[in-house]
Amino acid sequence: MSITNRFKNRLIAKVITRYPSLAQRFISAYEPWESGEAVPWAPPQKPLAECTLAMVTTSGVHHSTQEPFNMQDSEGDPSFRAIDGATIGSAYKITHDYYDHSDAEKDLNIIFPLQRLQELQQEGVIGQLADTHYSFMGHIDGRHIATLIGQAAQEVVKRLKRDQVDVVLLTPA
Amino acid sequence: MGLIQREIEKAGIATVGVTIVREYTEKVQPPRSVYLKWPFGHPLGEPGNVKQQRAVVLEAFKALYGITTPGEIVDLPFRWRRHDYESYEEPDNLSPGGDKQ
DSSP code, position B90: P
A chain contacts of residue B16, beta-carbon cutoff 8 Å: 167-170
Chain-chain contact of B6 with A40 (C-beta, under 8 angstroms): yes
Per-residue pLDDT tens digits for A36-95: 789 999 999 999 999 999 999 999 999 999 999 998 888 889 999 999 999 999 999 999
pLDDT, tens only, B38-76: 999 999 999 999 999 999 999 999 999 999 999 999 999
- Alpha carbons A138 and B13: distance in angstroms, whole number: 21
Task: Say yes or no for a CB contact (<8 Å) between B4 and A156.
Answer: yes
Q: How confident is the model at residue B101 (pLDDT cuts 50, 70, 90)?
A: very low
Predicted pLDDT of residue A10: 82
Q: Residue A54 has what DSSP assignment?
A: E
State the pLDDT confidence band at A14, using cuts at 50, 70 and 90. confident
The Cα-based distances of A52 to A5, A129, A140, B94 in angstroms read: 42, 6, 28, 14
Torsion sign, CA atoms A140, A143, A146, A152? negative
Going from N- to C-terminal start, the domains of chain B cover 2-79
More confident residue, B13 or A139: B13
Residue A22 to chain B, least CA–CA distance (Å): 11
Please answer whether residues B38 and B53 qualify as being in contact, where contact means their C-beta atoms are separated by less than 8 angstroms: no
Domain map (residue ranges) of chain A: 43-171
pLDDT, one tens digit per residue, over B4-44 is: 999 999 999 999 999 999 999 999 999 999 999 999 999 99
**Tens digits of per-residue pLDDT, A95-133?**
988 889 999 999 999 999 999 999 999 999 999 999 999
Name the percent of chain B lying above pLDDT 70: 97
- Whether the CA torsion A114, B6, A135, A127 is positive or negative: it is positive
Chain B contact for A167, CB < 8 A? Answer: yes
3-state helix, strand, coil in chain A (%, to 5): 40, 15, 45
Q: Across the interface, do B70 and A39 touch by the CB < 8 Å criterion?
A: yes
Q: Within its chain, how far is the Cα of B97 from the centroid?
A: 18
SS3 content of chain B, % helix, strand, coil (to 5): 35, 15, 50
**Structure-model confidence comparison of residues B86 and A138, the more confident one:** B86
Contact assignment for B5 to A170 by CB distance below 8 Å: yes
pLDDT tier, B79 (very low <50, low <70, confident <90, very high otherwise) = very high
